[in-house]
Amino acid sequence: MKKILVTMALAALAMGAQAKVRLPHIICDNMVLQQQTDARLWGWAKAGATVKVTTSWSSEAVTAKAGRDGKWLVKVKTPKASYEPLTITFDDGEPLTIRNVVSGEVWVCAGQSNMEMPVKGFGMCPVEGYNHHVVDALQSKGVRSVKIPSIMRMTPQEDAQCEWRVCTPQTVPDFSATGYFFARLVSRTLDIPVGIIEANKGGSRVESWLTKENLEKYTQEPTDSMGIVNFKKEWDYHRAMLWGNGTFNPILNYTVKGILFYQGCSNVGDPGDQYSQRLKLLVEQWRQQFGLGEIPFYFVQIAPYVYGDGPDGISGALLREQQWKAAQIIPNSSLVCTNDLVKPYETTQIHPSQKQPVGERLAFTALNRDYGMKTIQYQSSSYKDMTIKGDSVLIHTQDNYWCDAPFEQMQGFEVAGQDRVFHPAQARHFWQPGGGYWDEAILITCPEVKKPVAVRYCFKNWQLGNVRNGGNLPLFPFRTDNW
């Protein structure tokens, strides 16, 4: 009899465990909700069970019925951003409450290792100003982060072991450095909470995040397990699809503001326009999967680095060009230039130490485009057109905020003639009256090239220029030829 009672008790406990509502790990204490929207909350319960969701900021409750697979999802109207601690209770007969929730802005931090790189840096790869950032974390009460574990899976995952972290001197070392500096500036400028969802993997390619369906339709990448393992015998972090399934898919129900992306190094060497087209495909995929419309996509151009073809090679320059082209074909996107954010001794450092300016340039972009601060100058200047006059070339730029600086001794330009051999060139500010206005341009000359036909600016794996615009942002590398 005693044995029967014990068995019945265990069965009851098992039934209770199955009946209790279960939440994905990302819905937990300390989470940040996207403010003033219909935020999605979801989880699992006993098939057919009714789940009631109540919040501390509203008297209205919402309910959902778990399907045959136990899944349920609701939408709750979120309040205006504030630091007020909120609670959410999920009840399918046994209530479960999460606490210290705040309403604010939520951004995804995606990409490879330069996005994954934490404030404490990687081994042999420090982040500039680390100790100051740890001390300063006391002032970042509004910043919170959740790191999705980087795992490979053959099938899309619905959950991942993670938890939201409040920014403190103890937790900030493990935050994505680029993501943290973005969130810190936005939070302090708007005086609201900002949450970052870190879903990234060092070394991953753009194909690492595409779905099986997109890979099979638009690429030659294998999507079966043996094909993925054996394809080109690459490192595991180069593998297609697996990281998206394991690391990105668990966040797709979350309601977010936009996506920040820092990736590209592992795609250096891709032919033609392949990278720009696949990045466009990835953005379209993510926007469709999130189901939140044409959310912002702000991404970072890879920094100078000596790739396998040497400092004067152009494999890295061609990838940067592909990123520039991607920014022109992806709606509601913007590209951050980092050509100036490397030290002269970081030629073979794939993880440059200056992460604060990277995050802050992303923040300038969001503050101008999404938060109404139109006086912020967030765009780097770029090549517009050129005019050849004798042995000289006049270059005009766009998005320069009425300034091409420095006035003299501009560095990073090269000129070539019909022989297609490039030589270092002299460049300076130039103006002349014309057409009822002053023609502001960059005058480029080279004693070795009497009849110039093409100009390049920092179009090498490793070449540092010094041209900036009125926002003190660097000129995008470019070439006027297609050689």
Q: List the beta bridge partners of residue 63.
A: 52
Nearest to 53 by CA among 31, 82, 23: 23
**Is 64 within 8 Å of 73 (Cβ atoms)?**
yes
Termini Cα distance of the chain: 88
pLDDT tens digits, the chain, 483 residues: what are they? Answer: 445 444 444 443 443 444 589 999 999 999 999 999 999 999 999 999 999 999 999 999 999 999 999 999 999 999 999 999 999 999 999 999 999 999 999 999 999 999 999 999 999 999 999 999 999 999 999 999 999 999 999 999 999 999 999 999 999 999 999 999 999 999 999 999 999 999 999 999 999 999 999 999 999 999 998 888 887 767 899 999 999 999 999 999 999 999 999 999 999 999 999 999 999 999 999 999 999 999 999 999 999 999 999 999 999 999 999 999 999 999 999 999 999 999 999 999 999 999 999 999 999 999 999 999 999 999 999 999 999 999 999 999 999 999 999 999 999 999 999 999 999 999 999 987 665 456 789 999 999 999 999 999 999 999 999 999 999 999 999 999 999
Locate all alpha helices (DSSP H) within 334-425, ordered by sequence: 356-369
335 Ramachandran zone, left/alpha/beta (phi>0; psi -120 to 50): beta
- What is 9-23 written as a DSSP string? HHHHHHHHHHHS-B-
> Can you give the pLDDT at residue 431?
85
**Is 467 within 8 Å of 448 (Cβ atoms)?**
no
Nearest to 31 by CA among 55, 62, 64: 55
Bridge-based pairing of strands 96-111 and 194-200 is parallel
**Is 330 within 8 Å of 372 (Cβ atoms)?**
no
> Can you give the pLDDT at residue 432?
75
**Which residue is it, tokens 């045959």?**
68
> Can you give the pLDDT at residue 5?
45
Please state, in angstroms and rounded to a whole number, the distance separating the CA atoms of residues 207 and 244.
9
Q: Which residue type sits at 64?
A: A
Nearest to 167 by CA among 30, 261, 362: 30
User: How many angstroms separate the Cα of 154 from the Cα of each of 37, 157, 439?
Assistant: 33, 9, 58
What radius of gyration, in Å, describes the C-alpha atoms of the chain?
26
> Can you give the pLDDT at residue 434?
62
Please state, in angstroms and rounded to a whole number, the distance separating the CA atoms of residues 219 and 205.
13
Note the pTM of the prediction, 2 decimals.
0.94
List Cβ<8 Å contacts ≥24 apart for 275-278.
Answer: 275/206, 275/319, 275/322, 275/323, 275/326, 276/322, 276/323, 276/325, 276/326, 276/329, 277/218, 278/206, 278/207, 278/210, 278/218, 278/219
Token pair in block for residue 119: 């404030």
Please state, in angstroms and rounded to a whole number, the distance separating the CA atoms of residues 159 and 144.
20
